[in-house]
Amino acid sequence: MDSESRITDGKFGDYGGQYVPEALMPAIEELTDAYERYVLDDEDGFVEEFRERLRAFGGRPTPLQHAERLSERYDTEVYLKREDLLHGGAHKLNNALGQVLLAKYMGKERIVAETGAGQHGTATAMAAAHLDMPCEVYMGETDINRQRPNVFRMRLNGADV
């Protein structure tokens, strides 16, 4: 990647700001270093492993489906990207798998996540189980009661909710 693509100051564009509590800066710097090494520089074959895991475990690539009736109705060509066909039934695994894999490359020993309705927690629990890492998912009590099927799936994948 070219030098302009590097993470250098943590700011967004020419006018963006940054606020991170000082206590978190060592973790932010460690993550920045790992992202540059493993993702941008592809150290230790991270990118290839990530792509292969997305294919073999996640179910990528997902197909485009021509939506004939919508196309006819609006006199244009409409296609649906079928991310619902990914393992777990949602696009959330794309991100969670990359984050858990990066954590593993960084030598982290467990995964901690939060979730509202439970889809992110489910994807994170699936990715952690796939990569043999313990997982804790934090979820509000009301959401736990409301989203029992997702809580079941997280626990089925070994997460402590």
Q: Per-residue pLDDT for 10 more than 70?
A: no
CB 128 within 8 A of CB 161: no
Give me 153's structure tokens.
């799936």
- CATH, range 23-156: 3.40.50.1100
d(C-alpha 161, C-alpha 121), whole Å: 9
**Residue boundaries of the structural domains of the chain:** 23-156
pLDDT tens digits, 55-97: 999 999 999 999 999 999 999 999 999 999 999 999 999 999 9
Q: What is the mean pLDDT of the chain?
A: 92
